[in-house]
Amino acid sequence: MTAPAIASEKYVCLTTYKKDGTTKELPVWIADLGDGTVGFTTSSSSYKVKRLKNNNRLILQPSDSKGKVAAGSQPVEGSAQIGTGADFERVQGIVKQKYGIQYTGISLVGKMAKLIGKGSGTDTAVIITLD
């Protein structure tokens, strides 16, 4: 599956690896970054970012909003790079353009959580290169 094909999905199941090698799956939004990569934004304090910093290998597969993999879909493997600053701003703009008001709402929830000391808000980009 190509970057534009996987990015055409509304949700994908992101599989990351824990330190002991076991997997952790969760749904994420995904967007085509236009340069052969795909990506999403998240909180730098999230466990997915911690796992990706430890092991940047991942699997993406089309899914529903709860992470249930779409029947008959094929997984694609890749590697992630964690981005902040200008990388985050670029990815944020692309994701916001795709998801619109939904993205704005989620960002506001993240900002409120940050204000009460629960997380870092949406401040990190995950940029994925597919194999």
Q: Which CATH number is 98's domain given?
A: 2.30.110.10
Tell me how far apart the alpha carbons of residues 121 and 42 are, in angstroms, rounded to a whole number. 8
Which residues, given as ranges, of the chain have pLDDT below 70? Answer: 110-111, 114, 117-121
Q: Residue 14, Cβ neighbours under 10 Å: how many?
A: 25
| Confidence (pLDDT) at 15 | 97
Quote the pLDDT of residue 53. Answer: 96
Do 60 and 79 form a contact (C-beta atoms < 8 A)? no
Q: What is the pLDDT of residue 120?
A: 58
Six-digit token string for 39 = 């990506």
pLDDT, residue 108, reads 72
pTM above 0.95, yes or no: no
Could you list the beta-strand ranges (E) of the chain. Answer: 12-17, 23-28, 31-32, 37-43, 57-62, 76-83, 122-130
Q: What total number of domains does the chain contain?
A: 1
Range of the domain at 77: 3-130
Structure-block tokens of residue 37: 């990569």
Please give the pLDDT value at position 8.
93
